[in-house]
Amino acid sequence: MKRVAAVDLGASSGRVMAGTAGPSLLTVEEVRRFPNGGVRAGPALYWDILGLYRETLAGIREAGRLDGVGIDSWAVDYGLLDERGALLGNPVHYRDSRTDGVPASVSARLSARSLYDVTGLQQLPFNTLYQLVSEGDRLDAASTMLLIPDLLNYWLTGSIGAERTNASTTQLYDVRARTWATSLASRAGIPPRLLPPLRDPGTVVGTAEELSGVPVVAVGSHDTASAVVAVPAAPGANFAYISSGTWSLAGLELPAPELSDAALAANFTNEGGVDGTIRFLRNVMGLWVLSETLRTWSTSDLPALLRAAAAAPALAAVVDIDAPEFLPPGDMPSRISSACRATGQRPPSGRAAMVRCIVDSLALAHRRTIHEAARITGRRVDVIHLVGGGARNELLCQSTADACGVPVLAGPVEAAALGNVLVQARALGEDLPDLASMRTLVRETQEIRRYEPSGTADWAAAEARLRA
């Protein structure tokens, strides 16, 4: 039996979870939670990386005796180190505007098809490739780029490296060769020296002397990679997954990348998973729009709003939740109202109707994404596993089942932390030889709730309304 600390850093909060894994046993308990988010300083939006590191250290110490530590976080963002290993500045937030226009400039040197052939990655304006290009001459002072979990692992152990599941989100990783795409980086104007040695999830990075020499394990350090480890799918099941939080990462698990013209046109990504799998998915805007709406209203009473929204008519108004106007922070209710008027719909009247519009629009995006993934790959989807914080949202789970027309199995809520714990436990000697054994342990120990499609609303008509 192994007791480890799973550090799970999200875009709005971070936490340190104490986890235990062993025969017929898998638990996680929150030890410390702390806020996260962008910090505006002058014209730029940054992450408070030193504050995150301070809270991470404090949480690990509070966890007590440990056999290991593993860190996962959001993707794409990074810190630059100089030749002495010193951080050159706070990492910039992916919602910062510095990449505006950069994808278009890169496309003059690298076409979308040539990028996709190598990286298999979804085109998003904040991909690491575009962020690094936006650095310009500042790259001259840099020796190494480390993504957020790799940076914290470096500070803990002194060991420089890049874990593959997160490296695969950068648009600088060759998804078939499982190496850095150094030729592509050079053509984009990014010095290949910035790309550190690659590590597989489950590698023991080193020991944290500041923490009494506890081993530090490279887990599936992209939080979605860890979450997908803990998807409680039965062997042989035709399943899709949605890792639901600030973003919804919706898609399929594949044995190899899908790099077809159809996948490129539909803007699907092929990200590395644990044990050599591929996460064929698309980023959907997720619960970010709802959280920004609550911030605009200066309220935190989400349960009451969701109860009221559940009583409101379904599909009275829907928007394209992935539209670019919903990416930056701001007044989401006003943007939603404008989007409704632009598509000839009456804007939601009142807070309950607005929340219902957001949840229905997110479920509609889940439908569109899962159906497209199945069509492109020729795979059948009989069930959707919805994991992460969104599994608590009963309205979202039921609406997703209704929209997609298949059952939704919701849970575990703490999927990223559980996947983090499972990979650590295996690296430290527990008998968990493959994903199937890990998922069996999740099914046997975690609460899963089933939502059946109700068939009470015409989701196809709502989708057609947006396409019109």
Which ranges of 202-249 does DSSP label H, i.e. alpha helix? 223-229
Residues 6 or more apart whose Cβ sits within 8 Å of residue 391:
244, 397, 410, 411, 412, 413, 449
For residue 348 the two structure tokens come to: 């939601």
Q: How far apart are CA 321 and CA 462, in angstroms?
A: 13
Active site includes 77? no
- Three-state DSSP class for 41? strand
Q: Report residue 363 CA to chain centroid gap.
A: 17
Which ranges of 19-147 does DSSP label H, i.e. alpha helix? 49-62, 102-107, 112-119, 128-135
Is-contact 32 16, C-beta < 8 A? yes
Q: How far apart are CA 2 and CA 419, in angstroms?
A: 14
Residue 69 has, within 13 A of its CA and on its CB side, a CA count of 33
Strand 383-387 relative to strand 239-244, pairing: parallel
Q: How far apart are CA 463 and CA 468, in angstroms?
A: 9
Q: How far apart are CA 455 and CA 71, in angstroms?
A: 41
- Output phi, psi for 429, to 5 deg: 115, -5
From 67, 96, 223, 402, active-site residue: 223
Which ranges of 301-414 does DSSP label H, i.e. alpha helix? 302-310, 332-342, 351-377, 394-404
Locus of tokens 């042989």: 236
- Return the bridge partners of 9, or none: 14, 73
For residue 147 the two structure tokens come to: 């993504």
DSSP summary character for residue 146: E
- The residue type of 171 is Q
Q: What angle, rounded to 10 degrees, do the helices at 332-342 and 288-297 form?
A: 120
Residues 6 or more apart whose Cβ sits within 8 Å of residue 446:
26, 230, 232, 411, 412, 418
Closest CA to 231 of 375, 9, 441: 441
Q: How far apart are CA 238 and CA 382, in angstroms?
A: 5
Residues designated as active site? 223
